[in-house]
Structure 1
Amino acid sequence: MRAARWHGEKDIRIEEIDTPTAGPGQVLIDVAWCGICGTDLHEYLEGPIFIPPHGHPHPISGDSAPVTIGHEMSGTVAALGEGVTDLKVGQSVVVEPYIIRPEHRDDEHYNLAPDMNFIGLGGEGGGLAEKIAVDRHWVHPVADSVALDEAALIEPLSVAHHAWVRAGSPTSGTAIIGGAGPIGALTAAVLKGKGLRVYVSELSELRRQKVLDAGVADDAFDPREVDVPAKLKELTDGRGADVGFECTSVDVVLDMLLDAVRPAGVIVNESIWGHEPKVALHKLVMKEIDLRGTIAYAHDHADTVKMLEDGDLDLKPFITGKIALDDIVEKGFDTLIHHNETAVKILVSPSGKGL
């Protein structure tokens, strides 16, 4: 079968590899769609990061570069391994793409397990291939009412959902999101679906318009033209936002959130930072703000899937491109790197059947 394989920095190749089979306790999946994630971009430009370098196998998967990439995947069940009886061939599914030792899979915070990594980064196959075999534990069924292209966004949507959980699972109040890239936009979708008033600060006019058109933001501001903290106080009778979400890894955005949230408010940092930010932490002290980290997801997929099945979210506006596997670099990675404000989520069809 054909797969996109990471060999090194700026070296992704479409190759023929062996087709996997469903071993005991596993599910073989025909991949319908796989999204290109910001983490994939970092691996392409600067890796290896999560990908184990050649000759240094991951302690759980045993794999090292080259590896098949892709972890935001949806598809249908192609075959069931021995012992798997609660799914059926042809059923729509998504993958929670973890590589975690079995003894930690049911931990409360299994996303923080030792040596945790991700399918499609740390090995064990990847979604940018025609088929993948995954342990049943990480396979989530999805109702036929959910289109498979939208289902491919359940993985990044679960990242946003976990950020909402880390904020205290609020179902009312006011939120300010710094950045309307893929994770910022999906965070807005989760918050709006949970009942919050949602405001977004974003430089890109196209991205501001996207969250407004999608109905996931009550308003979106250009911080070059609007004093966002002052605007939030105006909109909240002088209090400020209850929660803030940092989705840019830009120092001034985090600093803005410290001004925009109310005293004793909460800020959740969703960004992966490639540098040490310079931020006025005195603001955090004097306002008793809670600054919380979040990574990936844990026990989030079930609620995220239900939100889609119940019609609480419409993810179609966030799908801005669909491409074939052969076009993954030119129309995928290059677009997201050089024309990122025009794209939210680009999906790849490994088989080409969805195009």
Structure 2
Amino acid sequence: MRAARFYDRGDIRVEEINEPVVKAGQVGIDVAWCGICGTDLHEFLDGPIFCPSAEHPNPITGEVPPVTLGHEMSGIVNFVGQGVSGLKVGDHVVVEPYIVPEGTDTSETGHYNLSEGSNFIGLGGNGGGLAEKISVDERWVHKIPDDLPLDEAALIEPLSVGYHAVERANLNEKSTVLVVGAGPIGLLTAAVAKAQGHTVIISEPSGLRRKKAQEAEVADYFFNPIEDDIQAKVHQINEKGVDAAFECTSVQPGFDACLDSIRMGGEQLLSLQFGVNQLVLTWQN
């Protein structure tokens, strides 16, 4: 089968590799769609970061380059290994792409994302979604409705970043929020806030990205921080400032805009994605 393989910085190759073996407790998946995350780009430009190197194998998988990339994936189950009970062939699924140490508590309250040495399928090893097939432990495979388009389902992993950030903001009904940056994470964060009935303000210098945000109708106001005074615009909309600000650019001017725009006692959150980990900071102004 074909797969996109990371060898080293600036060296990703599409090549033929063997299909994965589905072991006991695992699920075989025909990959339908897989997104290219900003993390994949960082690996190509500046890596290895999450990917292993020849000198530093992944401590959990033991893998060294090349490794197959891709962690934002959807697909259809093609085989279930011995002991798998919650899934069947033909199920439409997405993958929660974690690699954690053996013995880690992977329950919903286990905080397994904070486990020592944790990494991600499609970066640290264990295959990846930028291949025709992948084999994944049942724990990390989630069934989705058959009528959910698989191309849209591939966005569930980055969507979870925005959803988690909005949930962590503890917003009251019909709050006003600022989203700085209209890249994929910013758009999805804005979409979640808008869907929950909040007034959403987007700050984005790229005309193309602002246009996409307007077409997607994920916000109520769209400003260009190069031309607009974001603090002044925000306080025209809400005199006291926004109830929460989401920094989705990881650049200093974006962080400053959040601090300038948030009301006293508001919440500032950084909705950033590193691999599939998320950094969320709460700032009490």
Aligned pairs for 1:188-337 within 5 A: 188-236=190-238, 238-271=239-272, 289-290=283-284
Which letter does structure 2 place at the counterpart of 1:47?
G
Cα drift, residue 168 of structure 1? 2.5
Q: Which amino acid aligns with 1:225?
A: E
Higher relative contact order (CA 8 A, sep 6+): 1
**Residue matched to 1:278:** none
Partner of 1:129: 131
Could you list the runs of 5+ residues in structure 1 that have no partner in the other structure?
274-287, 292-355
Task: Look up the equivalent residue of 1:290 and give its one-letter code.
Answer: Q
Task: Encode CA deviations 1:101-127: one digit per residue, 9 max, x unaligned.
Answer: 242312442211111110000100000
**2: CA distance between counterparts of 1:79 and 1:170?**
45
Q: 100-109 or 35-44, which moves further after superposition?
A: 100-109
Instruction: Please name the residue that 2:17 is paired with.
Output: 17
CA distance, structure 2, for counterparts of residue 89 and residue 13 of structure 1? 30
The CA deviation string for residues 194-216 of structure 1, in whole angstroms up to 9 with x for no partner, is: 22111100001111111111111
Distance in 1 (CA, whole Å) between partners of 2:104 and 2:245 is 34
Residues 179 and 246 of structure 1 are in contact (CA less than 8 Å); yes or no, is this contact kept in structure 2? yes
TM-score if structure 1 supplies the norm length? 0.75
Compute the displacement of 1:272 (Å): 6.3
CA distance in structure 1 between the partners assigned to 2:79 and 2:40 by the alignment: 28
The answer (yes or no) to whether the contact 2:176–2:198 under 8 Å persists in 1 is yes
* Identical aligned residues as a percent: 55
How far 1:172 moved relative to its partner? 3.0
Find the counterpart in structure 2 of residue 105 from structure 1.
Answer: 106
CA 1:207 to 1:169, structure 2 compared with 1: closer, same or farther past 3 Å? Answer: same
Q: RMSD in angstroms over aligned alpha carbons? A: 1.7
CA–CA distance in 2 between the matches of 1:50 and 1:172?
39
Is structure 2 residue 184 aligned with structure 1 residue 182?
A: yes
Q: Render the CA deviation track for 1:301-345: whole Å, top value 9, x for unaligned.
A: xxxxxxxxxxxxxxxxxxxxxxxxxxxxxxxxxxxxxxxxxxxxx
Distance 2:167 2:65 in 1: 34
TM-score, length of structure 2 as denominator length: 0.93
CA positional deviation for 1:155: 0.6
The Cα of 1:71 is off from its aligned counterpart by 0.3
Change (3 A) 1:51 1:170: farther
Q: Which has the higher helix share?
A: 1
Unaligned 5+ runs, structure 2: 275-281
For the 8 Å contact 2:182–2:210, the answer to whether it is kept is: yes
The 2-side partners of 1:145 and 1:39 are apart by: 29
> Which of residues 137, 156, 164 is equivalent to 1:154?
156
